Amino acid sequence: MEIPRHIAIIMDGNGRWAQRRLLPRAAGHREGAKTVRRIVEACCRLGVGWLTLYAFSTENWKRPQAEVDALMALLSRFLVAETPDMIANGICLRVIGDQERLPAGVCRNLKESCEATAGGKSLILTLALSYGGRDEIVRAARKLAAEVQAGRLAPDGISEAVFAEALDSAACPDPDLLIRTGGEQRISNFLLWQMAYGEMVFTTTLWPDFDEMDLRAACEEFSRRSRRFGRISA
């Protein structure tokens, strides 16, 4: 089985998992956080180098305030509880997205966890928070426009490589495999630039139920794909 170097995941289905059990949606997110831990461990075992998780989208700000608050509180608790184990296991935490919109407490926890885990070499775990692919591209365009305006960059100097370096995901390889749980088959504004040639695997399993077997099954499916990147097969 070929192990993708970089796996990205749209963790969908927490709400439905909870609804089916007549539990509040927040209970689904809590269970989803347990899956995050399980899948990070599984990625370490499989030798995946980069894992990027879509934890909160720019559109998720439009959810009821109580659910947004519950997700932010869960995230803070997760960071505080898991950072020691991340350090012990060589996991380096990073964040992509518009962090200016995040509550100050969450920003502080993120900064502390990212700094504390910066030396991790076994897995780069990136959380996409307050993240939208279009928003990331617009912010990159603004950064480059400011460089051009300041006379530090010529318009012709903007290549694909230069643009990619202006994105939040700079220095991270494009995902080889995107997994979406929960049955929907769409990209929902996740890694729009980076997924130009990424393979996609969709599963109806709800995120709280997703386990190492499901992850391995997605990697098996990935191994069967013929990646041509626009060229023809050898």
Segment interacting with ligand FPP (CB under 6 A) among 26-34, 83-91, 101-109, 164-172:
26-34
CA 151 to CA 177: how far, in whole Å?
38
Phi, psi of 91, deg, nearest 5: -95, 130
60 in active site: yes
The residue (of 75 and 219) whose beta carbon lies closer to ligand FPP is: 75
Q: Does residue 97 interact with ligand FPP by CB under 6 A?
A: no
51 backbone φψ class: left, alpha, beta (φ>0; ψ -120 to 50)? beta
Show the 3-state SS of 15-28. Answer: HHHHHHCCCCHHHH
CA 103 to CA 207: how far, in whole Å?
25
The residue (of 33 and 177) whose beta carbon lies closer to ligand FPP is: 33
Least separation, in Å, of the C-beta of 79 and ligand FPP? 8
Least separation, in Å, of the C-beta of 147 and ligand FPP? 33
Binders of ligand FPP among 126-155, rule CB under 6 A?
127
Catalytic residue among 60, 89, 174, 209: 60
- H or E segment and range at residue 133: helix 133-149
Segment interacting with ligand FPP (CB under 6 A) among 74-82, 91-99, 102-110, 134-142:
74-82
The footprint of ligand FPP on this chain (CB under 6 A) covers a number of residues equal to 20
Q: Does residue 125 interact with ligand FPP by CB under 6 A?
A: no
The residue (of 71 and 215) whose beta carbon lies closer to ligand FPP is: 71
214 in active site: no
CA nearest neighbour of 51 among 177, 196, 225, 183: 177
Longest dimension (CA), the chain: 59
Q: What tokens does 26 get? A: 């927040």
CA 192 to CA 6: how far, in whole Å?
15
Segment interacting with ligand FPP (CB under 6 A) among 40-48, 72-80, 164-172, 212-220:
72-80
Among 39, 182, 203, 218, binds ligand FPP (CB under 6 A): 182
- Tell me the angle at which helices 25-46 and 212-224 cross, rounded to the nearest 10 degrees: 60
Segment interacting with ligand FPP (CB under 6 A) among 27-35, 142-150, 188-196, 225-233:
27-35
CA 7 to CA 3: how far, in whole Å?
9
Q: What is the CA radius of gyration of the chain?
A: 18
**Catalytic residue set:** 12, 60
Q: Which residues bind ligand FPP (CB under 6 A)?
A: 11-16, 29, 32-33, 36, 53, 55, 60, 71, 74-75, 78, 127, 182, 207
